[in-house]
């Protein structure tokens, strides 16, 4: 029986997305599950991933023998050659071999990479960055991820630790970041950074509709950011303006450093508020990059939305064929 189906996963700290692609690279079935249902140890998260794959097979009506390959993007530092997750900030994996058990269970090759690297790869092969050779990607979500395509190839740096420019320091006296540094891009422009600003303003006695929308996890859902930004909630607007200012500074730095063809902005925040963010970034970025470089660089929002990482996982499979 011909192996014509690829299974691709987006493994997050709170949810896991899974799809089945047919031989024409079309999604024929998809599911979403809460990652936290997998429990607190490595084997349970592994079992959750396997259960997602099993559900995809059942839902699409296909057999294991028809799987060509399985691929995934996940948060953390991941050796794409060995499939070992060296470290993941949101999952209980440390020096963990996720590749072998998946391959043994399903009898198909398994590939895995850092989620934002994989997402930028997806936009490069199928989305907003298709047709470009040099791509800078900013993915704005709970945290801030970066991904680079240089000369048509994904750049991961020594030890697969490259492109962490969510942690470029933009103000060494700025707010504390989760990484331990002060004034990182993530500390200003991610949902964590915007939440910290909103809470600071609340502590000063200011009123905002976002106060009730900050969840137990310490951040808000992107749809509420969009809602109160559009309604002109003063604190929300300030938080977004601040986030976009530092994204413009970071973008200028990356333009000067890489001279890319295109800068792509993705992630949950951009999916919800992308045009507003892009307009605000574009209005400022010229101040932070060399005039001789800026005219050759396009700024775009991601075209694939939640599917960027899934299409990037598909790209990893094709790259190994």
4 vs 242 pLDDT, higher one: 242
Range from 10-19, 51-60, 117-126, 132-141 carrying the lowest mean pLDDT: 10-19
Report how far Cα 52 is from the mean position of its chain's Cα atoms.
Answer: 20
Is-contact 294 286, C-beta < 8 A?
yes
- Return the sign of the alpha-carbon dihedral for residues 142, 308, 74, 84: negative
How many C-beta atoms lie closer than 10 Å to residue 77's C-beta? 18
pLDDT at 38 over 90: no
Q: What's the mean per-residue pLDDT of the chain?
A: 92
135-147 pLDDT, tens digit each: 999 999 988 999 9
Print burial letters for 188-199: b (CB count within 10 Å at least 16), e (below 16): bbbbbbbbbbbb
Which has the minimum average pLDDT: 30-44, 76-90, 198-212, 293-307? 30-44
**Is the model's pTM score more than 0.85?**
yes
Please answer whether residues 264 and 122 qualify as being in contact, where contact means their C-beta atoms are separated by less than 8 angstroms. Answer: no
For residue 286, the model assigns a pLDDT of 97
CATH number of 132-303: 3.30.420.40
Instruction: Confirm whether 5-119+308-319 and 132-303 share one CATH topology.
Output: yes
For 40, the 3-state DSSP assignment is coil
Report which of 207, 203, 224, 311 is spatially closest to residue 269, judged by C-alpha positions: 224
Whole-angstrom distance, CA of residue 220 vs CA of residue 64: 39
pLDDT band at 248 (very low <50, low <70, confident <90, very high): very high
CA dist 321 and 318 (Å) reads 5
Average pLDDT over residues 215-226: 86
Contact 5, 66 (CB under 8 A): yes
- Nearest CA to 69 out of 16, 112, 7 is that of 7
What pLDDT shows up at residue 41?
56
Pairing verdict, β 15-21 and 27-34: antiparallel
For the chain, domain boundaries: 5-119+308-319, 132-303
User: 126 pLDDT exceeds 70?
Assistant: yes
Between 25-39, 222-236, 290-304, the lowest mean confidence (pLDDT) is in 25-39
pLDDT tens, 58-90? Answer: 999 999 999 999 999 998 899 999 999 998 876
Average pLDDT over residues 256-279: 96
Q: Which of 10-14, 158-162, 169-173, 224-228 has the lowest mean pLDDT?
A: 10-14
Name the residue among 21, 5, 103 with its Cα closest to residue 62: 5
Q: Which pLDDT score is estimated for 12?
A: 82
The Cα 221–Cα 229 span in angstroms is: 13
pLDDT exceeds 50 at position 285: yes
Amino acid 90: pLDDT? 67
Query: How sure is the predictor about 149, in pLDDT bands with cuts at 50, 70 and 90?
Result: very high
Mean pLDDT score, 52-61: 96
Nearest partner of 90 among 114, 119, 117, 58, judged by Cα: 114
User: pLDDT band at 43, cuts 50/70/90?
Assistant: low
Look at residue 39 and give its three-state secondary structure: coil
What percent of the chain has a predicted confidence (pLDDT) above 70?
A: 96
What pLDDT does residue 13 have?
Answer: 72
Give the integer Cα–Cα distance in Å for 91 and 74. 9
Rounded average pLDDT over 173-177:
94
Q: Is the pLDDT of residue 173 over 50?
A: yes
Query: With pLDDT > 90 as the criterion, what percentage of the chain qualifies?
Result: 82
Fold of 5-119+308-319: Nucleotidyltransferase; domain 5 (3.30.420)
Query: What pLDDT sits at residue 37?
Result: 45
């Amino acid at each position: 029986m011909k192996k014509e189906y690829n299974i691709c996963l987006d493994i997050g700290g709170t949810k896991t997305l899974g799809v089945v692609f047919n031989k024409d690279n079309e999604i024929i079935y998809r599911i979403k599950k809460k990652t936290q249902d997998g429990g607190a140890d490595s084997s349970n998260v592994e079992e959750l991933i396997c259960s997602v794959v099993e559900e995809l097979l059942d839902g699409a009506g296909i057999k294991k023998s028809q799987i060509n390959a399985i691929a995934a993007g996940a948060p953390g530092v991941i050796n794409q050659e060995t499939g070992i997750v060296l470290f993941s900030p949101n999952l209980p994996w440390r020096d963990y071999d996720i590749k072998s058990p998946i391959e043994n269970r399903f009898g198909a090759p398994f590939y895995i990479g850092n989620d934002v690297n994989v997402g930028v790869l997806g936009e490069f092969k199928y989305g907003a960055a298709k047709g470009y050779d040099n791509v800078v990607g900013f993915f704005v979500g709970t945290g801030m991820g970066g991904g680079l395509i240089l000369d048509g190839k994904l750049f991961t740096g020594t030890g697969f630790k490259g492109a962490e420019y969510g942690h470029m320091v933009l103000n060494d006296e700025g707010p504390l970041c989760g990484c331990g540094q002060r004034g990182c891009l993530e500390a200003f422009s991610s949902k964590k950074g915007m939440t910290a600003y909103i809470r600071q303003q609340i502590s000063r006695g200011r009123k905002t509709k976002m106060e009730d929308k900050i969840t137990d996890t310490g951040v808000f859902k992107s749809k509420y950011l969009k809602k109160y930004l559009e309604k002109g909630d003063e604190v929300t607007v300030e938080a977004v303006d601040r986030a976009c200012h530092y994204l413009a500074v970071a973008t200028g730095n990356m333009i000067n450093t890489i001279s890319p063809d295109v800068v792509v902005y993705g992630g949950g925040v951009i999916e919800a508020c992308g045009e507003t963010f892009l307009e605000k970034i574009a209005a400022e970025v010229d101040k932070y990059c060399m005039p001789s470089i800026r005219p050759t660089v396009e700024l775009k929002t991601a075209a694939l939305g939640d599917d960027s990482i899934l299409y990037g996982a598909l790209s990893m499979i094709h790259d190994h064929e």
